[in-house]
Amino acid sequence: MLTTEQKRDLQEAIENYNFPTVAFDFKLDQELQLKNMYKVEEYIISLLLNPDSSAIRDGLSNILYWGYATAGYRDYRVSLFRENVTSYQLQIAGELFRRTAQPTITEIKELGMPQFSGISFISKIRMFLDPEKSAVLDKQIIKMKFSAYGEQTILAKVSHSPKEGQIRPSKPNSYAYEAWCHRLLAISTCNFDSKYRAVDIERGLFALIRKGKLDDAAKILANA
């Protein structure tokens, strides 16, 4: 269980999460400024679950567009994906997404799609498919593994070193990702009467890390 102070800090971080709420309409060739993350999620999942391969391509492109919203190379990464993803990959991806809201990290990896080779962006696909029970595991979040409280957190299960560029989507790390999502749900259940989704808890921890409160975030994850 979290202390009263930890619960307050995490709740404030969740409610003040302010990553850009943007998407892109590729048919109109214009950026969309959406009201909140719920609207971003609705927009992207509607594309991912569409049986039309071109819509799935737009949905996956939007995951990159949103995920790289603060990076100067965003448009380049999106263009690379759109130019190199194959019709067959989009077809198989669509079948997987419509079959289950919780495809494993390894199942998504096996699609072999360009720009989705590491857990950072593979987990974003999973998060948009099921934000209630799934979340992102990226290079910001994994910093908690290397903090003063890292060995006490669920992220100790992730096989990753500070020298590695990507979090590898191996089978053991796929299992570790599931454990991470379960822990986030447990934090919500035990401390907030299930008020928050798994992704909301993750975004709160992400916000704390971006504010320079890495050890505080890791201690919350360890104590929960």
Domain final residue pick, 117, 144, 179: 117
HEC-encoded secondary structure of 159-200:
CCCCCCCCCCCCHHHHHHHHHHHHHHHHHHHHHHCCCCCHHH
27 and 62 co-located in one domain? yes
- 224 pLDDT above the threshold of 80: no
Residue 199 forms part of a structural domain: yes
| Residue span of the structural domain in which 30 resides | 22-117
12 and 35 co-located in one domain? no
108 and 166 co-located in one domain? no
154 within 8 A of 201, measured Cβ to Cβ: no
CB atoms under 10 Å from CB of 132, counted, come to 11
- 61 pLDDT above the threshold of 90: yes
> What's the confidence (pLDDT) of residue 142?
98
Torsion sign across C-alpha atoms 170, 172, 178, 180: negative
77 and 141 co-located in one domain? no
pLDDT for 115-168, tens place per residue? 999 999 999 999 999 999 999 999 999 999 999 999 999 999 999 999 999 999
195 and 170 co-located in one domain? yes
Domain final residue pick, 72, 89, 117: 117
> What's the confidence (pLDDT) of residue 206?
98
Q: For the chain, what is the domain count?
A: 2
Share of the chain above pLDDT 90, in %: 99
pLDDT for 64-119, tens place per residue? 999 999 999 999 999 999 999 999 999 999 999 999 999 999 999 999 999 999 99
159 and 86 co-located in one domain? no
Residue 212 forms part of a structural domain: yes
The DSSP string of 33-67 is E-SSHHHHHHHHHHHHT-SSHHHHHHHHHHHHHHH
155 within 8 A of 141, measured Cβ to Cβ: yes
Give the separation between CA 132 and CA 102, rounded to whole angstroms. Answer: 11
pTM of the model: 0.97
pLDDT for 163-185, tens place per residue? 999 999 999 999 999 999 999 99
Residue 104 forms part of a structural domain: yes
101 and 142 co-located in one domain? no
88 and 169 co-located in one domain? no
- 27 pLDDT above the threshold of 90: yes
